[in-house]
Structure 1
Amino acid sequence: MDHAELTTEQVLNRDIPWETYMTTKLITGTCLQLLRRYDKRSESYRSQLLDDDGPAYVQVFVGILRDIFKEETVEYVLALIDEMLTANPKRARLFHDSSLVDKDIYEPFLRLLWKSNWFIQAKSCKILALIVSARPKPQDGSAANGEASNSKRKITTIGDVLKGLVEWLCAQLKKPSHPSRGIPTAINCLATLLKEPVVRSSFVQLDGVKLLVPLISPASTQQSIQLLYETCLCIWLLSYYEPAIEYLATSRALPRLIEVVKSSTKEKVVRVVVLTLRNLLSKGTFGAQMVDLGLPQIVQSLKAQAWSDEDLLEGLNQLEEGLKDNIKKLSSFDKYKQEVLLGHLDWSPMHKDPIFWRENITNFEENDFQILRVLITILDTSSDPRALAVACFDISQFVQQHPAGRVIVTDLKAKERVMKLMDHESAEVTKNALLCIQRLFLGAKYASFLQA
């Protein structure tokens, strides 16, 4: 059968000839006794055996993975360990029992990661991540396996394990061993491991950050939402690490995160992205870019929704305050841009300031006249008379100040939109619509005679 499609249940239905392994001295008599007692028993019975003698069973399983290379047997033992840890993840601590401190528990799993067999790879990855995460920290007063040993034999250190795991995870993100499960398996494992400083460091050194960025995109199916959530969780964990932030700053991560938070309805996705954006806000030019990408408006829209998560609500408030501080630091054109992008047009001093228009008229050419296009869109979409009046006035200023203003505004079909506002119920709107039309018809040469 195709190893890529094997299930744990199918593997555990096999009968493994343990007695033959004892006869050929690949396992000891004690191992055989323990296996006979454990194999093919009910979950409750096995659970009792693990409670009574867990480290002995761990030693047996790791020993088989170290000494026996037959794939069916390796798959079987990995399935037994996976089943044991899935039933109770706390059992991962058994691998760090003091009786195993001089046993190299990591080496077999690390080696098996690189087997050309997806079932073996996926199980080894999952088991290794659980064992590593369960290791006692130095302050617990005990030594984790791979950290301290009086043994003369070289034991795989925790550093070796984490680096080896990260290499395998990056390899999966570049070229997955399984077409549909390779990337989700790698991301799921990374979301656990990136809490480790050494993993963050190795991941950045291996150029892993750029492998995550393409995965940050709006999702609709349950599976893709989970993958998106775990990817964003990885980015959030990396947002606490300066070298990773430098990588994020030079990638498309920010616009992609903003696109996700704008379109996602899944609370856990929105929360992790908002908390990531909050972390990045004060770093480098992220704050100014967020303002440029219209995040203040998106935050306002998110705050209007009924979220129940307190971290998310707090994160939105902090993000809103931080963005306001960033807007205060912006240049006059950046402030103007924000006002237009948010659609909050008012008679702030710069609209009627001739110096502002003279100094900034070429800035209107950025991004294929983005700001001018937004002003024209406001004429169609806004119901606020003040915003309509200011938009008409600003378009008329552009016509007057830009050498090709009249032609550009005409090409963008603004004339028709402005003319519709000539009979608006608000006198302020009709006055500025009239001014705009006059400037459009007369052109820049004569427009200077017309003053609002």
Structure 2
Amino acid sequence: MAVSRDRLMAYSIVFYVHPEAYSSVSIYMKPNVNQIEAAGSIGRGQSDIYTSFMISNLEEQRKRIAEDPIPIYRTLFSLLDSTSDDDVFAQSLLATIDGAIQDDSRQIASLVQLATGRETFNVMALLVRSANTFKNIPLIVGAASHILASILSEIILRNRENPGDYINQATRLVDSLINQAMENSLPLEEATYCFLPLFKIDAIRREFLRTGGLRTVLVPLLEQKSGIFQPIYAAICCLWMLSFDEDSYEFFIRSDYNLIGKIIKELRRTDKEKVIRVALGTLKNLSAGEGTIEIMIENKLVEIIDNLSKRILKDQDVTDLVKDIGDVLASSVKLFSSFEKWLKEVERGDLVPGVTHTEAFWKENAKHLENDSFGPVKKLVQLLNSESVQTVVLALGDIGEFARFHPYGKTVAGKLGAKIRAMELLQNPNKEVNGAALLCIQKIMIQNWQSIS
């Protein structure tokens, strides 16, 4: 459901996640603001500021907040400080503040001024209190956390040499968001929007990786929201920011996360150039890592880049990225599908998933195993005794493909003991191993494999 952009609050990140709440929150006006002012809970004249600002339309709000933002933000925070039981009022106030900084990022400077000035309230403590007071209302938690994340990020970036306790506050916020996402008390995409401003800070990106944020938030978000523009764009933006750190590469090549595969999947699904740009930017950063190009080739990125190169793209950055990644892939495809690379894996005794363990590779290279009296096959059979499940499974697969595609492959594999060892591995307690063993035996024994495969 689309949200009508008739107020600044409509730009708050929370209405990307809770669009159904906008109709009730956007029309809400606190009925007794004059009484709050009369009681001294807010400053003189702030009830009028609140009322006139909240009834203004979008363009009027933009104009007023651009000309004189501090009195408006001071009023909104003062009112937030005065409420502890009106959750719709808190939603309205926080969404308005968040929407204003989302609409114009220059507005964050005014919030920093309030947060670091001598106000009657502590902006950051107030945001934390709001999130805790209404912790069962994700809209409030999301808006308060995003405002807090934006303020902390700006302060830390301004004081890189001496960030003081602000780094610790940002770290606590990251940990809290991850925990809430893990407990399902905060939607994954809402937590992700909050990470975006914080990921401008090196230490926070490292904290996110250290505490399992990828596994808890971004991996499941990419799986659950695949093809949905806004959350996928936010998730890949986070990955793009993480990809600037070499320490993150080990996470991108993990098979259980399959992050590169997930990014390429979204590239295949989307026609949104914003998503394409940030996805390609992430992949370009990762192309410097060991093993990442091979994963990209395995996930058929070459085909996607070829298709993109034929499209008319409006964004010149996207066009440049398509060319850059295309050049990297063109120079890498031959290297990563070469027989020499496979031989190095076998010599090392550590087989890794990739294009050297595919049907296409074996169709082209099966005859090369004749070298040194089928020496490479002998070494492959020895790897069936490896302690690595991955190596044993891939070796079984390679022997099966050799048996399929070499004219004497079945005979050679049998004479060198591959069939006997594969039959022994049928008893292996690991299901992946005994499944690969069964398939290997079938390929060695069945004459016309193609007719049943």
Per the normalisation by structure 1, the TM-score is: 0.69
Q: How does 1:324-335 map to 2 (within 5 A)?
A: 330=341, 332=343, 334=345
Q: Percent sequence identity over matched residues?
A: 13
Q: CA deviation at 1:19?
A: 0.9
Measure how far apart 1:322 and its partner are: 5.1
* Equivalent pair of 1:129/1:192 in contact (CA under 8 Å): yes
Conserved in 1, the CA contact under 8 Å of 2:342 and 2:356? no
* Long gaps (5+) in structure 1: 149-155, 380-389, 421-452
Matching residue of 1:42: 57
Q: Is the 8 A contact 1:340 1:375 kept in 2?
A: no
- Residue matched to 2:130: 112
SS of equivalent to 1:204: helix
Report the 3-state secondary structure (helix = DSSP H, G, I; strand = E; otherwise coil) of the residue aligned with 1:411.
helix
Counterparts of 1:231-246 in structure 2, within 5 Å, are 231-246=235-250
Does the residue aligned with 1:306 lie in a helix, a strand or coil? helix
- The aligned residue for residue 66 of structure 1 is 81
Contact 1:84 1:91 in 2 (8 A): yes
1:329-386: CA deviation from partner (whole Å, max 9, x where unpaired): 846163898555261414764434322222222336821722244457xx6xxxxxxx
Alpha-carbon offset, residue 183 of structure 1: 0.7
Query: What is aligned with 2:196?
Result: 191
Across the aligned residues of Structure 1 and Structure 2, the Cα RMSD in angstroms comes to 4.1
Code of the residue aligned with 1:371 in structure 2: it is D
The alpha-carbon distance between structure 1 residues 168 and 297, as it changes in their structure 2 partners (threshold 3 A), is closer
Cα deviation for residue 185 of structure 1 reads 0.7
Query: What does 1:17-166 align with in structure 2 at a 5 Å threshold?
Result: 17-71=32-86, 72-97=88-113, 101-103=117-119, 104-114=122-132, 115-116=134-135, 117-132=137-152, 137-138=157-158, 158-166=166-174
After TM superposition, list the pairs within 5 Å mapping 1:193-342 onto structure 2. 193-212=198-217, 214-215=219-220, 222-223=227-228, 226-246=230-250, 252-253=256-257, 255-258=258-261, 261=264, 264-266=268-270, 272=278, 275-280=281-286, 282-283=288-289, 286-287=290-291, 291=294, 295-296=297-298, 298-307=300-309, 308=313, 309-310=318-319, 311-321=321-331, 330=341, 332=343, 334=345, 338-339=355-356, 341=358
| Structure 1 position 162, deviation (Å) | 1.8
Distance 1:66 1:26 in 2: 8
Assess, with a 3 A threshold, how the Cα gap between structure 1 residues 110 and 298 changes in structure 2: closer, same or farther: same
Q: Distance in 2 between matches of 1:269 and 1:83?
A: 22
Structure 2's unaligned 5+ residue stretches are: 1-17, 385-390, 424-437
| Structure 1 residue 6: Cα displacement | 6.8
Assess if the C-alpha contact under 8 Å between 2:153 and 2:200 holds in 1: no
Max radius of gyration: which structure?
A: 1
Structure 2 residue identity aligned to 1:356: P
Judged with a 3 Å threshold, the aligned counterparts in structure 2 of structure 1 residues 359 and 159 are, in CA distance, closer, same or farther, namely: closer
Does 2:446 correspond to 1:415? Answer: yes
- Aligned partner of 2:24 in structure 1 is 10
Contact 1:19 1:32 in 2 (8 A): yes
Partner of 1:351: 370
**Structure 1 residues 359, 90: closer, same or farther in 2, change over 3 A?**
same
- Normalising by structure 2, report the TM-score: 0.69
